[in-house]
Structure 1
């Protein structure tokens, strides 16, 4: 039972918190300022009720500083490096400085709204949205030990439905991919040409392409597979019977990892969402990759200027923007030729090549399990449990992708005007490429 005691003109209620002090004695909590014993007793009984049902927040826990809780929350994170880096950035640049001297108990709905207004007035809308998402997770995880309820205001759908705006996409044509590939070759050599066509024909994520090394690429894989997991030996034996260089085998790339910056260095990590997968490739791309690997001795399939991984440079700024947006001619000590823009991708992001690959799979009528598996997605429900990608499915994908390439070559051969409009391919040495990429 709560204990009531009078002090001056008000009374105070004490109750056992359910915890013990280091010396073994019970730890009590109290609250004063009541004008009558009935109100004080009712308050104490409410605290005991919450303690019994595990919803009580002690005075000590409620007084935890937000900055201390942020330290605990960050230490308990277990995310991919890119995700963790984004969360830490939001906390260290926005959340921690604002709530530096604030306790968790003081962050109510009004304080939450004030911070939201503060962030929206200082950063772009997309950044503010990410910061508020991180703050929401931080406060939600503080319930019920440090705060009873989260002050985060959830968006509720009320009234008229407003459709969310989606990014407008243009159909990915093989001709546009060819133009991008020729531009890429002018920027960083033969690897650039093969890089663009590999992304368009496999739908691999950029970080997966940046981290693709010789042992996981045709014609080396699967014979060169390091086989790190002996328990998966069955998968390796099946790969040897299904993929590789041979009459009855299918050329393929193994997506086994990606590269990300972590602790100041470029490191290998599992592919996003653990989407390990094997991607069959059409014969033309198999030949292109084999010739590319024979042309250099770097470990990376698509080396950057200077031979490092594309993941070690700002690819979007130094490479992709030139490839998609074009560039003017430059004279002087480091001359370079003018390069035309590719309208469907001008000002747009590299990731649209991955989206375009999915659209090609859908246009060609491939099964959902084959298309989604190729993109590294899990097919939900019963369909994902019972179905699997078969050899005929993979051969159909190879055939249709090869048909797109052959149709493009026929189009270019039959229409000289299109050829004259495209940026001409010119094989360049590493020294010439380095000069053009500056």
Structure 2
């Protein structure tokens, strides 16, 4: 039961916590004020809504450390969260008691973010911050989330919602033009890579992680397929691997790193000797760097390929000097890394064009490339957006389109709608027509891929 004590010129109250121990609060002018406060806390304890005020004095940085230990997310999500925390959130809030984060303080920080970063990145930062504070509410560290709710009415100037779609995606003809620039800049593999991304809708990580054994190209016409089994990512924290029966360090390195020589990295990360026999079911930490991990949302899927793409991929795999495991390695024959160098030396030139430059000290000659009209500022993910638009324009069933994109429908439609082989075949035929029509636009003639016109 709460009781008050005289402490110098003020009063202190001691009140009972849910665990039976006592906490205290000082600085009350009168005994009655102290008792009122203590009794209110004990009432909250009885109603099971008590939040210990001392918990709110825990620093935000300490809360993030606790949160990270129990957060069960995939390797890429963990890496993304860590990057955003270290780059933006923790420099501002690390030493702030979590109970001292106020709505007004947050709004001032939000205004600074909007002045520094693009909207999508600010939205991502806010989403992570909201999740952290929501979880702090769940743990009863704070009574409520101080971040303003998007659905709440707020004072201030009205800001009209943006209704214009500004995302840049290509038509089939524009995608072909980008692929032509890629071939001129780096060769046949890069031409095929752009067309594969455009005509399958693969995410760039799935393109980088496409293994040669996941292409089925021996059948004719519409029997060729591509299996999405992995995505390739450069990780700053080791991923995990559960050992299967008969696996060795070398076979795991070949499977997950696309490089058997990295067996030494796995051995070092787990304190194992080279060639040590592995027990099935054991969990191993993999090496950092390029790693094949499950596709986003575990969106494993098999895609029927339009004939033209199947033939291009067959021709690519038949070439000498390719990577032993990966379909689309980097220019140096290593796993593909979509980073600043990829954008600066490859992507921007094939989309926005470049002027010819002679050989200069420390730099190779630069080939002139024409800009592809209508797709300025398009990012690689724009090819995936374009793929979805093409399928929608062709009127394919939504369930088949979403499944091809690696998404799952929710609700009744997701439960009772199913993709039939005829739907998948219809998509492949529609994509073949789109390809042929893009050639017709280029040549001004009725295109026919190697004399065959698919209906």
* TM-score, normalising length: structure 2: 0.77
State how 1:8-87 maps to structure 2 within 5 Å: 8-19=8-19, 27-87=21-81
Between Structure 1 and Structure 2, how many residues are aligned? 386
SS at the partner of 2:160? coil
Q: Distance in 1 between matches of 2:427 and 2:59?
A: 57
Distance 1:278 1:7, change over 3 A: same
Deviation of 1:180 after TM superposition, in Å, equals 1.2
Going from structure 1 to structure 2, the CA distance change for 1:69 and 1:39 (only over 3 Å counts) comes to same
Deviation at 1:124, TM superposition (A): 4.7
Which of the numbers 318, 325, 337 marks the counterpart of 1:311? 337
Judged with a 3 Å threshold, the aligned counterparts in structure 2 of structure 1 residues 131 and 360 are, in CA distance, closer, same or farther, namely closer
Task: Name 1:253's counterpart in structure 2.
Answer: 226
2:310 alignment counterpart: 286
**Alpha-carbon separation, structure 1, partners of 2:373 and 2:438:** 18
Which one of the candidate residues 387, 392, 410 is aligned to 1:380? 410
Structure 1 residue 247: Cα displacement: 5.5
Q: CA deviation at 1:341?
A: 0.8
SS at match of 1:310: coil
Matched, 1:148 2:148: no
Using the size of structure 1 for normalisation, the TM-score is: 0.80
Corresponding residue SS for 1:344: coil
Give the Å deviation of 1:283. Answer: 1.0
* Counterparts of 1:289 and 1:206, CA distance in 2: 17
Q: Quick one: which of 300, 320, 326 aligns to 1:300?
A: 326
Aligned to 2:190: 192
Between the aligned partners of 1:376 and 1:6, the Cα distance in structure 2 is: 67
| Aligned-residue offset at 1:92 | 1.9
Cα pair 1:10 1:35 within 8 Å, conserved: yes
Does the 8 Å contact 2:221/2:307 carry over to 1? no
Between the aligned partners of 2:331 and 2:221, the Cα distance in structure 1 is 37
- What corresponds to 2:397 in structure 1? 367
The 1:52/1:303 distance shift into structure 2, 3 A limit, reads: same
CA distance change for structure 1 residues 98 and 308 in 2, over 3 Å: closer, same or farther?
Answer: same
User: 2-side partners of 1:104 and 1:127: how far apart?
Assistant: 23
CA separation of 1:46/1:370 partners in 2, compared to 1, >3 Å: closer, same or farther? same
Q: Are the aligned partners of 2:328 and 2:336 in contact in 1 as well (CA < 8 Å)?
A: yes
Task: Give the equivalent residue in structure 1 for 2:290.
Answer: 266
Q: How much is the aligned-residue C-alpha RMSD, in angstroms? A: 2.8
- Stretch deviating more after TM superposition (116-125 or 80-89): 116-125
Alignment of 1:112-127 (within 5 A): 112-120=106-114, 122-127=116-121
> Where does residue 96 of structure 1 map in the other structure?
90
Change beyond 3 A, Cα 1:69–1:326: same
- Structure 2 equivalent of residue 230 of structure 1: none
Aligned counterparts of 2:438 and 2:8: Cα–Cα separation in 1: 93
1:234-249 mapped onto 2 (5 Å cutoff): 245-246=218-219
Counterpart pick for 1:325 among 345, 348, 352? 352
CA contact (8 A) 1:302 1:310 kept: yes
Q: Does the C-alpha gap of structure 1 residues 169 and 153 become closer, same or farther in structure 2, counting only changes over 3 Å?
A: closer
Q: 1:325 to 1:254 in 2, by over 3 A?
A: same
Task: Map 1:330-409; keep pairs closer than 5 Å.
Answer: 330-332=357-359, 334-409=364-439
- Give the equivalent residue in structure 1 for 2:250: none
Residue aligned with 1:40, SS: helix
1:51 CA displacement: 1.7
